[in-house]
Amino acid sequence: MNQLPAVFTVLTIASVLTLATSAHAGEDFDRPNIVLIMAEDIGNDLACYGTKGVKTPTLDKLADDGMRYTRFYTNSPICSPSRTALMLGMYQTSCNGHNHRSNVKGASGLHYMTHYLRQAGYVNLVGSKVIQRKSGKTDINVRLDEPLFDKSNPKPGQPFFQQIQLQVTHRQANDSRWQDLRASKKLPVSTREVEIPPYLPDTPEVRLDWATYLDQIEQADLETSQIIADLKEKGQLDRTILIWIGDNGRCQIRGKGYLFEDGIKCPMIIWGKGIEQGKTVNDLVSGIDLTATILALAGIEKPAQMQGQAFLANPGYESKQYVFCARDRWDEIVDCSRVIVGERYKYIHNFMPEVPYDAGQKYLDTDNVRPILPLLRQMNRSRKLNAAQAYFFRPEKEVEQLYDLQQDPWELHNLAASAGHNRTKAELREKLFQWFVSTNDQGLTRDNQGTWKPKLEMQMQTPR
């Protein structure tokens, strides 16, 4: 592995605020490069997050020499709404970008994050030539009359923002890449060493599938080292901030597409120029907060449209009490659920409980996407799953779900019907419903208003 140079001391607030407000070719720029590496479909499954059986030396080193966040939540458990929120700095539900791959026309006055970086003298790049598939993924759900990225390369001394998508962790239909990679490795992840979540049965098939997933994470770690080596070779590493995140949770039951922790809680590591070393951060942060933070690190004031708050380079930063996420249409599956996550408790409201978790979906039902799903369905029909494992296959969702994340991190015990938790449930429900209104949740009020508006009003008024 390439040895990372020692990072600089913490960037003071004063130095951030005195960054230049414009930039021209040939000028001695003070602004840092910012490289956003986004791994697809990945949970907190790195060695530095305590995952057993996987080796991620590059990312472990970044975490040791940078900042590791333990409670980073994407604003959607699905890729394109998640990226929409990130690139606009606002909830996807506030800008009509909540439905997967909807490609809607954005409202007048909206701008991508890259617009503000461009105005400040940055060039915006996408992808990398040094890794597999070059990873130039740009699909988001809101279409604006401005480029998301630039076609030109940086001029000498010009700072750049670069988004790189690591697609190796993405499960693709009719694609054998995962199996091919495992077969080619001299030391694939051992099926004996992996730790299986209690909501999955511990079978050889499940262990193999889990180990194969961790193989892809090891490949993502390797590709990260290649990106770092490329920056070093170009003489850019010392002036670069690296941000490494997941776009949504792992592609597994209760993961990608669902509002359980494994669908929305992802890794985030920040390393580089001016970033504090060796710090673990337990604050609640979300994708829209990262957008504001990227602009703050570039010395750019947060635009009025953005709904998040910068958690670095922000003298007024205060840790959040709650984060909010949303699930809406995913391919052909129409659904609508919302979640509020607090320090200890988490509340989910399912507006379409009649749509089961295992709703059947062409993409997910492809053999290479969730290969253990047919086995799990068969075990469920044969009553070979325990209650926690069979929960995913219930014919309907529960309208309300309440989890104590401190006592029940795997979310196995729904406390919504517990009389002892009525007050907590009511408080979180009220805050969630206030969020609908304050952020203009268009997933509830814009989509088929004749159905949603009365349903929303009824549920807001009905005590539970």
Question: What is the tens place of the pLDDT at every residue in 363-415?
Answer: 888 777 889 999 999 999 999 999 999 999 999 999 999 999 999 999 999 99
- Sorting pLDDT into bands at 50, 70 and 90, what band is 447? low
Domain ranges of the chain: 33-321, 337-454
Dist. CA 136–CA 126, nearest whole Å = 5
Dist. CA 161–CA 326, nearest whole Å = 27
Average pLDDT, the chain: 90
- Measure CA 225 to chain center: 21
* H or E segment and range at residue 109: none
Which of 137, 39, 106, 91 minimizes the C-alpha distance to 325? 91
**Which tens digits make up the pLDDT trace of 35-85?**
999 999 999 999 999 999 999 999 999 999 999 999 999 999 999 999 999
CB contact at 8 A, 170 and 139: no
Count other Cβ atoms within 10 Å, centred on residue 78. 29
CA distances, 384 to each of 203, 205, 369, 377, 403 (Å) = 11, 15, 23, 10, 25
- Give the pLDDT of residue 131: 87
Q: pTM, whole model, 2 decimals?
A: 0.90
CB contact at 8 A, 75 and 284: no
Mean pLDDT to the nearest integer, 330-355: 96
Class of domain 33-321: alpha beta
DSSP assignment, residue 333?
B
Helix (H, G, I), strand (E, B) or coil at 218: helix
Helix (H, G, I), strand (E, B) or coil at 242: strand
Q: Is the pLDDT of residue 3 over 70?
A: no
Q: Is the pLDDT of residue 4 over 70?
A: no
